Amino acid sequence: MRASRSCREDPEIYRKVKEAVGMRRTAERYGIRVDKKGWCVCPFHQDRHPSMKLFPDGRGYYCFTCGAGGDQITFVARYLGVSNSSAARELARVFGVPLTEPATYREKREAELSRRKRRNVAEFARRSKLWLGLYRGLLCEARRDLEDPHFLEGIHRLEYVEYLLDLVERSPEEVYGNREAVRKIGEIERRAAGWYSRPGEDGAVSG
């Protein structure tokens, strides 16, 4: 039963919510009637007589019939059928527990920025590999044939392109952060895209 243990994501938020809102207040907020000793009808099985006990001092809840147990957050998660993380935020919202202090806000912002950067790097690597791979194929083809108008290009540039490709495979972040490399890859992309539309030996121009 995964939801019965408290959670490792957002430990700061869980701590704040659990400190601010006790087990009894949580259960009562969701319509559970709790007697003086902390017993209530279990909402997680067809319970007629109270078989769930809510413990004081942050010790959570336990149903002696169906075995459901956990803390405030997992209770709400299970009750509403949402993730622990959503449950924690829901509790914070309902009881007005402040979660965003300046530091937290900055951390969030930084996390968002680094997420965005990871996405950009991944997209850059995907695109670079595609075009470098394509260009490599074109060069390989050209250098097989002395008559090919791109023969010399094939001879001169293949090694370089393989080097770049290898670099993008191994450390895409470094390449992404290197302006010169990004510019070169951009050039190669345009070169490969225009491969067949350049003036040929017969002077024909297309595109």
161 contact partners, CB below 8 Å, separation of at least 6: 132, 135, 136, 139, 188
Sort 47 into a burial class: Cβ within 10 Å, 0-12 / 13-18 / 19+.
middle
Q: Is 84 helix (H, G, I), strand (E, B) or coil?
A: helix
The CB density around residue 44, as the number of other CB atoms within 10 Å, is 16
By CB under 5 A, name the one of 41, 66, 94, 121 that touches Zn ion: 66
To Zn ion, the closest distance from the beta carbon of 25 in angstroms equals 20
Which span (59-67, 99-107, 145-153, 158-166) binds Zn ion, by CB under 5 A? 59-67
By CB under 5 A, name the one of 63, 132, 138, 168 that touches Zn ion: 63
Largest CA distance in the chain: 96
Pick between residue 21 and residue 40 the one whose CB is nearest to Zn ion.
40
Q: Mask 16-55, x = binds Zn ion (CB under 5 A)?
A: --------------------------x-xx----------
Residues at the site binding Zn ion, with contacts judged by CB under 5 A: 42, 44-45, 63, 65-66, 68
